[in-house]
Amino acid sequence: MTRVFVYGTLKRGGDNHHYIAYQQFLGAARTVAGYTLYSLGDYPGMVRVPADTAGVTGEIWTVDAACLHQLDLLEGVNEGLYERVPIRLAAPADDQPVETYLYLGSITGRPALGSEFKT
């Protein structure tokens, strides 16, 4: 089982939530500072931004290996669209490892969304 931090269309109420709806929801969370969201059209991309002080809000889910594989396909990991990486969450989250998807494409001309994507 893998703990995954989701921040966009995979969240409850999001267009792609059906990919994880049958997995275990652990709760709301926020990343440590250093990340922000950009609009990629109908979905966001989270990128590292060292100057960020707020972090990104989202949800933590525990997913099985089959689900994680489907998420990697959805996020285009093999195509280089996103990479799945470990991140730290802000307090009061525990220190257990959490993985998330960071956007690898250009954010030039993309509107910044800040810390939250509204589903």
- Cα separations (Å) of 89 from 1, 40, 54, 81, 98? 18, 24, 12, 23, 8
Q: How many CA atoms lie within 13 A of 110 on its CB side?
A: 20
Cα separation of 116 and 37, whole Å? 7
User: Which of 59, 75, 79, 116 is an active site residue?
Assistant: 75
Annotation marks residue 75 as catalytic: yes
Cα separation of 89 and 39, whole Å? 22
Which residues neighbour 91 within 8 Å (Cβ) at sequence distance 6 or greater?
A: none
The answer to whether 20 touches 6, Cβ cutoff 8 Å, is yes
The residues assigned a catalytic role are 75
